[in-house]
Amino acid sequence: MIGGGQGGNIGAVHRMAARLDGQFQLVAGALSSDPERARASGAALGLDPARSYGSFSDMARAEAARPDGVEAVAIVTPNHLHAAPAITFLEHGVHVICDKPLTATMAEAEALARAAEASPALFILTHNYTGYPMIRQARAMVASGALGAIRLVQAEYIQDWLSDAVEAKGSKQAEWRTDPARAGLGGALGDIGTHAWNLAAFVSGMEPEALAADLTSFVPGRSLDDNAHVMLRYASGARGALWCSQVASGQENALSLRIFGDKAGIEWHQEEPNCLWFSPIGAPRQRLTRGGPGASPEAARVSRVPGGHPEGYIEAFATLYAEAAEAIRARQTGEAVPEGVLYPDLRDGLSGMRFIAAAVASARQNSAWVSL
Amino acid sequence: MIGGGQGGNIGAVHRMAARLDGQFQLVAGALSSDPERARASGAALGLDPARSYGSFSDMARAEAARPDGVEAVAIVTPNHLHAAPAITFLEHGVHVICDKPLTATMAEAEALARAAEASPALFILTHNYTGYPMIRQARAMVASGALGAIRLVQAEYIQDWLSDAVEAKGSKQAEWRTDPARAGLGGALGDIGTHAWNLAAFVSGMEPEALAADLTSFVPGRSLDDNAHVMLRYASGARGALWCSQVASGQENALSLRIFGDKAGIEWHQEEPNCLWFSPIGAPRQRLTRGGPGASPEAARVSRVPGGHPEGYIEAFATLYAEAAEAIRARQTGEAVPEGVLYPDLRDGLSGMRFIAAAVASARQNSAWVSL
Amino acid sequence: MIGGGQGGNIGAVHRMAARLDGQFQLVAGALSSDPERARASGAALGLDPARSYGSFSDMARAEAARPDGVEAVAIVTPNHLHAAPAITFLEHGVHVICDKPLTATMAEAEALARAAEASPALFILTHNYTGYPMIRQARAMVASGALGAIRLVQAEYIQDWLSDAVEAKGSKQAEWRTDPARAGLGGALGDIGTHAWNLAAFVSGMEPEALAADLTSFVPGRSLDDNAHVMLRYASGARGALWCSQVASGQENALSLRIFGDKAGIEWHQEEPNCLWFSPIGAPRQRLTRGGPGASPEAARVSRVPGGHPEGYIEAFATLYAEAAEAIRARQTGEAVPEGVLYPDLRDGLSGMRFIAAAVASARQNSAWVSL
Amino acid sequence: MIGGGQGGNIGAVHRMAARLDGQFQLVAGALSSDPERARASGAALGLDPARSYGSFSDMARAEAARPDGVEAVAIVTPNHLHAAPAITFLEHGVHVICDKPLTATMAEAEALARAAEASPALFILTHNYTGYPMIRQARAMVASGALGAIRLVQAEYIQDWLSDAVEAKGSKQAEWRTDPARAGLGGALGDIGTHAWNLAAFVSGMEPEALAADLTSFVPGRSLDDNAHVMLRYASGARGALWCSQVASGQENALSLRIFGDKAGIEWHQEEPNCLWFSPIGAPRQRLTRGGPGASPEAARVSRVPGGHPEGYIEAFATLYAEAAEAIRARQTGEAVPEGVLYPDLRDGLSGMRFIAAAVASARQNSAWVSL
The reply to whether D260 and D111 lie within a common domain is: no
ipTM > 0.90 (yes/no): yes
Radius of gyration of chain A (CA): 20
**pLDDT given at position C6:** 86
Is position D27 within any domain?
yes
pLDDT confidence of D6, banded at 50, 70, 90? Answer: confident
Percentage above 90 pLDDT, chain A: 98
Distance CA A165, CA B245 (A): 36
Is position A326 within any domain?
no
CA distance B328 to chain A (A): 41
**pLDDT given at position B256:** 98
Radius of gyration of chain D (CA): 20
pLDDT(A8) > 90: no
Question: Omega of the bond prior to B293 within 30 degrees of 0, cis?
Answer: no
Q: Flag whether residue C304 sits within 8 Å of chain D, measured between CB atoms.
A: no
pLDDT(C103) > 90: yes
Q: Flag whether residue B281 sits within 8 Å of chain A, measured between CB atoms.
A: yes
**pLDDT given at position D51:** 97
Q: Which of A5-9, B91-95, D173-177, D338-342 has the lowest mean pLDDT?
A: A5-9
Nearest to D313 among A159, A272, A309 (CB): A309
Contacts A239 to B, Cβ<8 Å: 214, 216, 227, 229
Domain boundary among D121, D140, D171: D121
Q: Region D213-222: what's the mean pLDDT?
A: 97
pLDDT(C7) > 90: no
Q: Region C53-82: what's the mean pLDDT?
A: 96
Q: Flag whether residue C227 sits within 8 Å of chain D, measured between CB atoms.
A: yes
Is position D326 within any domain?
no
The reply to whether B208 and B86 lie within a common domain is: no
- Which of C162, C230, C249 should one mutate to test binding to chain D, selecting the residue with the greatest count of D CBs within 10 A? C249
The reply to whether C294 and C224 lie within a common domain is: yes
Domain count, chain A: 2
Distance CA B284, CA D232 (A): 32
The reply to whether D84 and D174 lie within a common domain is: no
Is position B2 within any domain?
no
User: What mean pLDDT, rounded, does chain B reach?
Assistant: 97
The reply to whether C139 and C95 lie within a common domain is: no
Is position B340 within any domain?
no
pLDDT(B7) > 80: no
Nearest to A214 among B239, B245, B248 (CB): B239
Contacts A285 to C, Cβ<8 Å: 286-287, 289, 292
Is position A333 within any domain?
no
pLDDT(A285) > 80: yes
**pLDDT given at position A56:** 96
pLDDT(D7) > 80: no
- CATH label of the domain that carries residue B103: 3.40.50.720
- CATH label of the domain that carries residue D172: 3.30.360.10
User: What mean pLDDT, rounded, does chain A reach?
Assistant: 97
8 A C-beta contact, residue A244 and residue A226: no
**pLDDT given at position C212:** 98
pLDDT confidence of D131, banded at 50, 70, 90? Answer: very high
The reply to whether D213 and D256 lie within a common domain is: yes
Q: What does the buried/exposed string (b/e) look like for D93-112 if buried means 16 or more CB atoms within 10 Å of the residue's CB?
A: ebbbbbbbbbbbbbebbebb
Distance CA C182, CA C81 (A): 8
The reply to whether C79 and C142 lie within a common domain is: no
pLDDT confidence of A9, banded at 50, 70, 90? Answer: confident
Q: Region A242-271: what's the mean pLDDT?
A: 98
Cβ–Cβ gap D265/C251 under 8 Å: yes
| Sign of the four-CA dihedral D132, D133, D134, D135 | positive
**pLDDT given at position D64:** 93
pLDDT(B9) > 90: no
Domain boundary among A121, A153, A169: A121
CA distance A40 to chain D (A): 18
Domain boundary among B121, B148, B178: B121
The reply to whether B93 and B143 lie within a common domain is: no
Is position D293 within any domain?
yes
- Which of B137, B272, B287, B296 should one mutate to test binding to chain D, selecting the residue with the greatest count of D CBs within 10 A? B287
pLDDT confidence of D303, banded at 50, 70, 90? Answer: very high
pLDDT(A295) > 90: yes
**pLDDT given at position D158:** 98
Q: How many CA atoms lie within 13 A of D48 on its CB side?
A: 9
Contacts D287 to B, Cβ<8 Å: 284-287
Q: Give Cα B95 distance to the centre of its chain.
A: 17
Is position A327 within any domain?
no
* Owning domain of residue D17: 10-121
Cβ–Cβ gap A249/B264 under 8 Å: yes
**Phi, psi for residue D97 in degrees, rounded to 5:** -115, 115
Q: Flag whether residue D227 sits within 8 Å of chain C, measured between CB atoms.
A: yes
The reply to whether B269 and B149 lie within a common domain is: yes
pLDDT(A260) > 90: yes
Closest C-alpha among D286, D287, D236 to residue D262:
D236
The string of pLDDT tens digits covering residues A108-141 is 999 999 999 999 999 999 999 999 999 999 999 9
**pLDDT given at position C81:** 96
**pLDDT given at position D9:** 82
pLDDT confidence of C8, banded at 50, 70, 90? Answer: confident
The reply to whether C81 and C142 lie within a common domain is: no
CA distance C206 to chain B (A): 26
The reply to whether C137 and C111 lie within a common domain is: no
The reply to whether D183 and D259 lie within a common domain is: yes
User: How far, CA to CA in Å, does B258 sit from each of B2, B99, B127, D288?
Assistant: 35, 25, 18, 20
The string of pLDDT tens digits covering residues C275-287 is 999 999 999 999 9
Nearest to C286 among A281, A284, A289 (CB): A284
**pLDDT given at position D10:** 92
Neighbours of chain B (3+ CB pairs under 8 A): A, C, D
Q: Region B237-259: what's the mean pLDDT?
A: 98
Q: Region C225-242: what's the mean pLDDT?
A: 98
Closest C-alpha among A80, A137, A129, A182 to residue A318:
A129
Q: Where are the beta strands (DSSP E) in chain A?
A: 72-75, 95-98, 123-125, 150-158, 210-216, 227-233, 239-245, 254-261, 264-269, 275-280, 285-289, 370-371
The string of pLDDT tens digits covering residues D36-76 is 999 999 999 999 999 999 999 999 999 999 999 999 999 99
The string of pLDDT tens digits covering residues A176-225 is 999 999 999 999 999 999 999 999 999 999 999 999 999 999 999 999 99
Cβ–Cβ gap D286/B285 under 8 Å: yes
